[in-house]
Amino acid sequence: MDALRASYGDSSSDSDTDELSPAAENHGEVSTSGKHGKESISLPPPPLSLLESIGSTGSLDVYSTETVTRVRNFPHVHGNYALHVYIPVFIPLLAKKEIACVLKRVASLVPHLHLVEADIPLNILCNDDQKLDHALGREFHISLGRSVPLRVHQINSLVSMLRQKLQLHKRYWMDFNKWEVFVNDDSTRSFLSLEITTSGLSEISKQIDAVNEVYKLHNLPEFYKDPRPHISLVWALGDIRTSLKGAVDGELKKLRAGGCVQNRIFTSKFSGIECKIGNKTHKICKLPDE
């Protein structure tokens, strides 16, 4: 059992991507779920190894940033490991340029935005096209289930059941065609995201249903009743949906008037499903490259 724990890293290592509430008709949040209180933590600046993977030339001191205070999705408990089931997504080259254009404009209007996962201030990245391009070239995720704590004795069973439920899938296309702002369950963070509202929505919804079945068998909370598949690009502390949504909509209107952006942001092929537990990633379903 100790060897198994060691392979998954530190217990209760919370995912860097908070659970998001799908936007309701008007504002963008559903009622909170989960029975545990939230634990406030203060995070250090990004590690140098991460910054070197994104940066190029020049001193790394330009990335010095304010201390970021975030809230855990669940309290630290020894023997628990953060669980995240997701579809990996990479943004195509041409789409990265359009997305970077929008992000630069939004960063000039809304302060204190950070890149998802890396916690690097967006306004710093926007000063260097190469660094921003590298940042947008990383892997992004479409969540298929809530990020929740999993007990070590549940790991093998959950991974096995996920593979049984999700192993048979055909390749399909996913259209990311809408900029949207989401807020996590307790309104501690806001996220600027790219949502799927057409092609790929029905397939992903079925995959979420399959994950829910496995979660229920392990007494884990199910996903939102009306899921809205998306990838999150940047985040900010607190509930700033009004200002962030207003900035995005205003800039998109200007760019569309000038013919700089399209209705479809980008299209990606579904290529598989992964499950991250602690520090270990399991391939649940992977389609062969064409």
Closest of 110, 120, 102 to residue 60, by C-alpha: 120
Catalytic residue list contains 76: no
Q: Which of 78, 141, 218, 282 is catalytic?
A: 141
Residues 6+ apart with CB under 8 A from 261: 98, 101, 102, 252, 255
β 114-115/68-71 pair status = unpaired
Query: DSSP readout, 17-46?
Result: S--EEPP-SSSS------SSPP-EEEEPPP
Residue with tokens 């970021």: 68
How far is residue 51's CA from residue 27's CA, in Å, rounded to a whole number?
35
How far is residue 134's CA from residue 125's CA, in Å, rounded to a whole number?
10
Q: Which of 84, 114, 169, 230 is catalytic?
A: 230
Catalytic residue list contains 27: no
Here the tokens at position 270 are 């579904």
Which positions are catalytic?
A: 141, 230
